A = this chain, B = another copy of it.
């Protein structure tokens, strides 16, 4: 029997948070509930303007790590960069806070930039209407999902040193394979974290069909659409669902698991991928130390 709490694995991370990176947090002083002076860490938030070739696309607020992956992932998830596009270069100017993605193909999104749909996601939560269509010709593989993987992933992710644990006010997303977390991205905007992973997968030519996508954010329509668009068959979250997120996941045959905390989770779509191999006796409820705090995003009666 697998005990996700005690099982120690060799660290499988290719990319993981770096809470020690001085550029990502700031120390600020204030007072606490007793009026005493305190010093605490807060997450940085800075603008990054993304260009596709000669065209300015968007300015995003981000923590500023991996601007290249963020830019490519954003353009991919907006259908501005196509999976078969050849990226001839990505230039980042830190002083100007500008990243330029260059492609062989000529691009022009003047029209698209006019018609945007605001979604209930965060930050990069702007999708274009036609993203909806991407569900029609999609078929996600029947990759199995063992519950023992789920619990082990949750345990490893929740105990991985992160900007969240250091400074809070940040979203996290993890790309995993079976019980191994591969890439853990954080950002002030949840969709930045998603897009950084999408950009990494594109740059590194990573297959999606055997992967699991874990997010700390809510399972909204846009989160589902982005996961499907990336070709990942399984989406897992600590947080709750929206009705449209569930509907789209069912339409795309995406396995949708939410409200995963301690022993508990709920699957509202693609349940047939789940293999119940975990003896729940061996799964602990979360310690308050690792419980994510002050949510608006979990819940549900």
Which positions in A face B, CB cutoff 8 Å?
25-26, 28-35, 38, 40-47, 58-62, 113-114, 116-126, 129, 147, 164-172, 187-190, 192, 216-222, 238-246, 259, 261, 263-269, 271, 274, 276, 280, 292-301
Given known A-B contacts A44-B242, A45-B220, A244-B44, A119 and B61 have beta carbons under 8 A apart: yes
Residues of B within 8 A of A114 (CB): 113-114
9 contacts between A and B (CB under 8 A): A42-B243, A43-B241, A118-B189, A119-B123, A120-B122, A120-B187, A167-B299, A216-B295, A297-B297
Given known A-B contacts A268-B42, A298-B293, A61 and B261 have beta carbons under 8 A apart: no
- Having A167-B299, A169-B298, one finds 10 other A-B pairs with CB under 8 Å, namely A30-B267, A33-B265, A35-B276, A42-B240, A43-B240, A120-B192, A125-B125, A164-B299, A292-B296, A293-B295
Contact of A299 among B123, B165, B188, B241 (CB under 8 A): B165
Candidate in A124, A240, A245, A264 with the most chain B CB atoms within 10 angstroms: A240
Task: Please measure, in the bound complex, the distance between the C-alpha atom of A243 and the C-alpha atom of B292, giving whole angstroms.
Answer: 20
Q: Are A259 and B123 in contact (CB under 8 A)?
A: no
Task: Please measure, in the bound complex, the distance between the C-alpha atom of A77 and the C-alpha atom of B33, giving whole angstroms.
Answer: 31
Given known A-B contacts A46-B244, A118-B58, A242-B45, A188 and B220 have beta carbons under 8 A apart: yes
Given known A-B contacts A119-B123, A125-B125, A300 and B266 have beta carbons under 8 A apart: no
* Minimum distance in angstroms from A282 CB to a CB of chain B: 13
